[in-house]
Chains A and B, each alone.
Chain A
């Protein structure tokens, strides 16, 4: 949607498209300081609703920490896991959060490289989502350890016994991948933040001024500084894409390298990556709709952005269905006894409600997103994208818990019920993510102001005869 054809609006006078151009031009007409104000003002307004939200989220987080302490003190038995379901809701939610973290880089790095113009106002929200979701995901490898106080044995540090972690283990790959991705995405988030920190520094006083002054690193906006920033962002955009692909591949190999039926699959790595993009982009759309409303950023996050995002979600969803089908059909025809049993339980057995929830909640949004009305109406898009993530969470639960319930020896089959400890800790990470994001939106400019100003240069009004025509230029 980044291409604007100058003559189109005048010729067919399409009712859907006219407001978009008007909004975009409105932004082009705005002064720099007006944009700064529009972004900064909502940050300073922390009304009663905001503090109530923070209090509720903090309470859930505190309760979750109590549950975690309970788990550590009494042992893993307080979670619902058993033999053979050694991994339960913790690993499911771990995979889910790593998946959510994927859209930030997807939006920001891939679209930056592709020079997709509609990415500009949503990059910061996406990158913050990556960082916070990874922080939540990173808790789970600790939470699910039986002896969490020995977690540092997984870190390769010099010691007098020459004990080294086992780099054959996918858990080690996990740790390396998540740390790399967290460091890379945090730096990427911060780099793009520097000019806005300088802008905020110049507009604030008190504790905010002190904070922004430190974070701005003495940015003055000289030509050399901009040049370096663009180069650094260019390098990061390219460098972070292999990391982004590898992280969820590695998470999938936690499962695929074992010989557990339904886990041992060659398609798991790309299937997990595309599922991560699908759920991450959907989560991004949901979050942007909520933030846009609560912070009154309608001017920056316009329906054209949600339109493009909705299309991307739809494409990712189609790819997810393709990969799911490619894996499923091979297992169906392979007809190995335990795999057949698992498939039957999913399609017509005790797992059927979850299976049909997964398929319905992942496929119906694709159909809905075909319609422009759904993509551009905030309430409809919010419902659709939340539905996608219900489906993706169910999918992860089916893979992790559903598969583990069955194995090669039928006497070892088992069932799983999550305990209050597991549910509390899962709720803690959801509330923790929301809390970090809420606080972030009041401290850091949610919309990347410098990117918007840069993108604004593309659009101008030109007078051809008596006609005012919007035009678009190609810029870096």
Chain B
């Protein structure tokens, strides 16, 4: 999976910046993601057994010894890797790389081997263990732009590809390209502390690419060579 034409420095590569110094671990992004992407609610018992369906998981780590304990929050979603470990292992091409640097998942094609889930070092993929149930009147608030998945398939963060597409189509109709910051995934729109910033990493003037070159930036598990499209910022000392 070397860098091919799809992943060159030309064209678009969507990226998300997560500023850990600003994250308060409030989980608003998780709720927004659930509403936007028709994620099922599995209930307390199933979630405790590791079967939640959040596309964003706020990792919470404790630092230090009592009484000087600090909580660290780390929102982890699909890292949209350029060298994604999940892609080559799928037997039916249900997950593949699209031309905008996104690691796309085709729900209809997935047969549920869960190989991608085992291969993903971030465990950012979630599985539909049972048929999703949306009791009335919740069905009225399902997002019509996103398919409701069935049981037995994998799903994961898409960077709200439906929002990306909508802005792109509108911009194309007006004969221009999307401006920086025009596209906002649900989590970015919701984050109360603006800890999440979305944009094109290949555009040197975008907010995202400038932050990516800041001294505070790092990628998750860089030693694995997955080249993630999610960039974390961490530098200042924050006590929570």
Contacts and interface: CB of A to CB of B under 8 A. Distances in A.
A165 B142 CA distance: 33
A412 B151 contact: no
Contacts of B49: 82
A39 B91 CA distance: 47
B88 interface: yes
Interface stretch (A28-36, A83-91, A130-138, A443-451): A83-91
Contacts of A153: 92, 109, 111
Contact of A411 (B60, B121, B129, B152): B60
Contacts of B61: 410-411
Contacts of B112: 76, 145-147
Contacts of A81: 114
Interface in A403-454: 404, 407-412, 414-415
Interface of A: 74-77, 81-87, 144-147, 150-151, 153-154, 163-166, 168-172, 175, 254, 257-260, 404, 407-412, 414-415
Contacts of B88: 166, 168-169, 257
Given A75-B130, A145-B111, A408-B221, A87 B118 contact: yes
A404 B119 CA distance: 10
A276 to B, nearest CB: 21
A262 to B, nearest CB: 12
Contacts of A165: 91-93
A150 B89 contact: no
Interface in B88-134: 88-93, 109-115, 117-119, 121-123, 125-131
The 9 A-B residue pairs with the shortest CB-CB distance in the complex, in nearest-first order = A146-B112, A146-B152, A77-B129, A82-B50, A411-B59, A86-B114, A75-B151, A171-B91, A412-B123
Given A145-B152, A153-B92, A259-B121, A77 B130 contact: yes
Chain B interface size, under 10 / 10 to 19 / 20 to 34 / 35 or more: 35 or more
Contacts of A146: 110-114, 127-128, 151-154
A411 B220 CA distance: 14
A351 B135 CA distance: 41
B212 interface: no
Contact of A169 (B89, B126, B127, B224): B89
B123 A258 contact: no
Nearest to A79: B129
A171 B51 CA distance: 24
12 contacts: A75-B128, A75-B151, A83-B51, A83-B123, A146-B128, A146-B151, A151-B111, A154-B111, A163-B109, A164-B93, A170-B115, A411-B59
B92 A74 contact: no
B111 A77 contact: no
Contact of B121 (A75, A87, A171, A407): A407
B76 interface: yes
Nearest to B126: A83
Interface string B45-89: 010011110000101110000000000001010000000010011
A75 B60 contact: no
Interface string B127-167: 11111000000000000000000111110000000000000
B118 A258 contact: yes
Contact of A74 (B51, B130, B150): B130
Contacts of A407: 121, 123
Given A409-B122, A409-B123, A154 B59 contact: no
A257 B224 CA distance: 13
Given A86-B117, A87-B114, A75 B92 contact: no
Contacts of A84: 50, 117-118, 123
Given A146-B111, A408-B121, A75 B91 contact: no
A76 B127 contact: yes
A141 B205 CA distance: 49
Nearest to B115: A171
Contacts of B220: 409
Given A83-B123, A153-B109, A411-B59, A166 B153 contact: no
A415 to B, nearest CB: 8
A417 to B, nearest CB: 8
A2 B60 CA distance: 66
A408 B130 contact: no
A270 B179 CA distance: 55
Given A408-B121, A409-B123, A171 B85 contact: no
A33 B79 CA distance: 73
Given A165-B93, A411-B60, 5 more contacts: A77-B129, A83-B123, A147-B151, A165-B92, A171-B89
Given A77-B51, A166-B93, A147 B118 contact: no
A365 B115 CA distance: 35
A408 B51 contact: no
A172 B130 contact: no
Contacts of A86: 114, 117-118, 127
Contacts of A175: 91
Given A77-B129, A77-B130, A83 B117 contact: yes
B99 to A, nearest CB: 18
Nearest to A417: B49
